[in-house]
Every structure is written in C-alpha cells, then in structure tokens.
Amino acid sequence: MKDSVNVHNKDYELGGQINERSASKFTFRTRGFLALILTCSLLSFFTFRRPTLEALNVSPTDGLKDACPQAAPISPSFHKDLHGDLEEEYATDEFRLKAYESLGGAVRIPTEAYDDLKPPGQDPRWKIFDKFHAYLEETFPLVHTTLRKTTVNSYALVYHWQGTDPSLKPILLTAHQDVVPVDPHTLDQWLQPPYSGFYDGKWIWGRGSCDDKPGLIGSITAVESLIAKGFKPKRSVVLAYGIDEERGGISGGPAIRDHLLSTYGAYAFSILIDEGGDLDVRDDVVIASPAVAEKGHFDLRLVVSTLGGHSSVPPVHTSIGILAGLIVQLEDNPHTPHLNRNDTYYTNLQCQAAFDPDLSDELRTAIQWSLTSDWALKDLESQLFESDPRLRAIGSTTQAVDLISGGVKVNALPEEATAVVNHRVAGWSSVSALKTRIVEVLLPTVKKYNLSLDAFGEEIGDDFLTAAGQLTLSDAFGTALEPAPITATSHNAAYEFLSGTIIAVEKSSAKGSRADVPVVVAPGILIGNTDTRYYWNVTENIFRYGHVDRYAKYNGAHTVNEALLAEAFIELIRFFTVVILNADETNLL
C-alpha cells in the first residue's frame, strides 16, 4: 500500500488542482481499478495458461513422434512358408486344446515359492519342482531330446538350442517356474480351485495361469512346435527358467546368471525377453509396452528395543507404541513424485500423446508444452500424480509397511518390536539416497522418544546409556537393489527388432481384428522386479514383455481367481515363434 500511496501523492503534486477529498477518491478508484486488473490477470492465468496448440498453429504431435519412433512390422521372410504352416496349425482346435491343457497341467503343479525357503537341498518344499520337471519332459519330448538341458542349483533350468552360425549372438528367453502361494483362508473365494488348471471353454484357471507359467509354457511350446516342423536355427536360442522369482529370485537368478556368464561370457546375448509389460488392446488402437527399466528395491527393517518388565508398571510408551509412532512418521511423509524428461515414463507419455487417439486434448497439449517448458513440466506432473495413485507409484519411491511383530505375552512388556517397510526405488533415485531420507524423516521421532539410533551400522544421536531405548535400521533381507539400467530405445537396433516383431504379430493376430488398427509400441517401466535384476551384465538389451492383453487376465495375478483368457495364450505362443524366426533372419541383433 505504501507504493500506491506514493504513486498517488505524485499524481496529486503533478495535477496541482486536486483537493484532499478528491485525492482520496482518486486513490480509492485507482486501487479498485488495479485490483480489477490483478483479478482479471489471475483469472486469465488460470483459465488460459494452456492455450490450444491449434491456436498457435502447432501440430498436436509436433516433437512427440521423434521421441517415440515406431518400427516397421517385421515378419519372417526366409522362413515365410514355415511361419505360414505354423500359423495354420496354431489356429486348429486340436493344437489349441492341446496348448490349453499344457498350461493347465503346469498350473496343476503347485510350485509355490515361500519367503522362508531354505536353499535347495535343505528344504523339502523344493521337491515339488521335481514333479514339474518331469511334467516338462513328458509334455515337451522334442525339446528334451534336441536341446542341451542344464540344471543349476538343483532346480533352475537352462536349455541351449545350438545354432548353425556360432558368430551370431544367441537370444535369451526367460521365465520362472514358481508361483505365489495361495492363502488357505481364500479357498472359498475361488470360482475354480486354485490349482485346477481348468479350461472352462474361455478361461484357464489357477495360480500361475497369469504369472508366469504362460511365459514358460508359451516359449517352450514355440520351440517344440518349431522342432516338430524340422526347423534348425542359425542363431542359437537359450531358454532360462528361474525357481523363486516371487521371493526375489535368491536361489534361481544368481545361479542362472553365473551359469550364463561362465558358459557364454559377459554381454554375450543379443537380446533378453522376460515377463513384464503387456498389451492394451482397444477398438481404435493397440499399445504394447515392453518395459525397458525397473524400479529399485529396498526392504527397511525397524527394530525398537526397550527394557522389559511387568505390564502393571508400564512406561509411557512401550516398544510397540514407539514403533507405531515411527511408522506414522514414515507414512505422514510420503515420497514426492517427480516427472523427469529422461525418465522412461516420460517417454511413454510422449508416445501416448503422439499416437493414442483416446488421450484427452488437454493432456495431449500439456505433454506437448512440457517438452520445452519447465513450468509446463511441473504442471503436467501435478495433473498426473494428483489424479491417479498408480501414477504416483511410477513417479516416486514408494513405501509400504508390510510386516510387523512384537510381544510374547499380554502381561509382559515387549522388549522388542519389529516392522519391515517395502520400498520400490524411483529410477531417478538410489538406495543410498533413500537411506539418507529415511534417517532424516525419522530423526524428529527418534528424539521425541529419546532413542539412540543405529542407522545402517552407524550410531547417530544420543548416547546408548541415557536413551530410553534403541532404534536399529537395517536392510531387512540383504536384497537391496538399485534401479535397473535403462535399455535404450532411440537408435537401438534390438528395440527396433522387438518393436517390429510385436507390431507384425499383433497386426496378423489370429483373432483377425487387428489389420486395420494402429499398433503402437511405447516403452514402459516396471514398478516391481523380475529375475532380470540378476542379468544386467548378460546383455545390454533387456526387455520385460509378455505380449498378453491386460484385459485377458480375469482378476490379475497374486490374488484369488487368477485366470488367463485361453486365446491370449495362443497369441503368446505366436509371439515367441515369430521372435525365434525373426531372430534367425535379422541383421538387427
């Protein structure tokens, strides 16, 4: 207001004829006028801050398609006749029913991976994998008489199909044999028994029907079918099937990695395809999202230690109460999501803006503006992450308190209380940065409860002798994992190979409805982790992709009523078949 008064005083002096009352009136009117201008400016800012691209004579996809290059379809040429024969066979009822039963039979063997499994040979629960291996040998006899099979760490499987040209780098197709255990308390919620492998004419039911026995049975079925047609590859093909991906791949992943490195060497494979991204099949577009990145992983263990004693003389806060306060502190300070131009998710957004006809004009415009404007990037960030919790998970490090324990008797003070918090580390962050932030967030609560702090092996804060208790922070299972290296998509021949193969397979879908529908490949990021965490130095071209329509999963994975649309399984077999045939001909790998 002081500046306004000064301006008005100046006007009064310059005017020379305005009395005090008229000066006051002038000042009031001027202030009102300025207020009106300010209000209109703010309204204009919030209403028109995203001018339409059309109004500026800018194409809705200018600059976007360059960041999301699309490959031409790649179909077998030299092996065209063989491919055609197999396509005809895959369309027969005889083949389909046999394929459905092969997946159903695999589902019927409950290869459950428990978090507390002891190493193979030390835990009888591994024995079920012997039965699964026998099933594979019986169901796929040509694979087992043609390929060289190696069993590593008792149950992990590696199959080598020798090519005629040893100068060509092999392709590596991976999957896992294990499944998430079924909670016995949920048995009455299943429409079909969880290990029935039942085909009801549309769906194949049971645990593992989505994750990840289709990947295993689909790839080995493709190889079996190719052998039956007399195909002999020029480029070697390797199949690798883990045994405990669902608990972090502790026993299977490292064993397979070590075998691959000792047998083939570092970066010896041209491409690796594992489970992961899927298809979004719609009436007007099909968007395939092979994941080229994975978030990191860190399980934080919090242990609060205090003096015990009789519950009749309790302290103000027991170890359980203190642990609860620490958990609340963590949950009250969630990680802030960020959108970065070098993130895979941002590349995916550009692909959607360039090719997805169902994307809103407002969001398409916002993505376009964000290419060059930092302000627009922040605005897009808020639009996305405030509207969808799943998108927040993609754009930030997440935390979830999943395990808690403490106390042994109702009248005995608990001397120790423990919780484990699962974190999925954002691609732009690191495990080290996460640890630093955890300490910063918890320190106020540590001081509130007068605790000493052992933070990942470093003593911080009050002396242990004067503290009311101790908080120990550690890596719960020793499985901390940095975010995965990002597989290049721009100017990467292997990505072009995979993209072209995906487009060709989907364009010629056995369902016969894809020929006139655009098929777009948009790179994605996994917010979970696969066995590929162990294969970073096996190849630079790691892709996590399952070629299954997301709507072909009845209720998703890791929950009740897991089921796969049977037709989707045939499409997956088609995909693996074309990958192998294309790899035999291409100069992109």
Q: Catalytic residues, which ones?
A: 178, 245
Instruction: Give Cα 309 to chain centroid, integer Å.
Output: 46
Count how many Cα atoms sit within 13 Å of the Cα of residue 226 in the half-sphere of its side chain: 28
358 known ligand binder? no
Q: Is 246 annotated as a binding residue?
A: yes
Residues of 397-434 as b/e, b for ≥16 C-beta within 10 angstroms?
bbbebeeeebeeeeeebbbbbbbbbebbbbbebbbeeb
Tell me which residue of 569, 556, 479, 531 sits closest to 239, measured CA to CA.
Answer: 531
Three-point CA angle 414, 415, 416, nearest 5°: 90
Cα–Cα–Cα angle for 221, 259, 154, rounded to 5 degrees: 70
CA 146 to chain centre: 35
Decide if 296 contacts 486 (C-beta within 8 A): no
* Token output for 27: 């000042």
Which amino acid does the sequence have at 333?
A: N
In terms of C-beta density within 10 A (0-12 exposed, 13-18 middle, 19 or more buried), how is residue 358 classed? exposed
Q: Which two tokens stand for residue 528?
A: 């979970």
Beta-carbon contacts of 388 under 8 Å, excluding residues fewer than 6 positions away, are none
Look up residue 136 and give its amino acid. L
Query: With helix as H, strand as E and coil as C, how does 299-350 read?
Result: EEEEEEECCCCECCCCCCCCHHHHHHHHHHHHHCCCCCCCCCCCCHHHHHHH
Residues 6+ apart with CB under 8 A from 193: 187, 205, 206
Q: Which amino acid is at 93?
A: D
Is 274 assigned a ligand-binding role in the annotation?
Answer: yes
Q: In Å, how far from its chain's centre is CA 488?
A: 17
Annotated binding residue at 176? yes
- CB-CB neighbours of 540 under 10 Å: 16
Are 575 and 547 contacting, i.e. CB atoms less than 8 angstroms apart? yes
Cis ω on the peptide bond leading into residue 212 (within 30° of 0)?
yes
Q: Could you tell me if residue 11 is left (phi over 0), alpha (psi between -120 and 50 degrees) or otherwise beta?
A: alpha
23 conformational bin, left if phi > 0, alpha if psi -120 to 50, beta if neither? alpha
Distance in angstroms (rounded) separating the CA atoms of residues 135 and 157:
13
Q: Rounded to an integer, what distance in angstroms lies between the CA atom of residue 233 and that of residue 239?
A: 14
20 is in an annotated binding site: no
Amino acid in the structure at residue 351: C
**What backbone torsions phi and psi does residue 321 show, to the nearest 5 degrees?**
-65, -40
Residue stretches of the annotated binding site for Zn(2+): 176, 211, 246, 274, 558
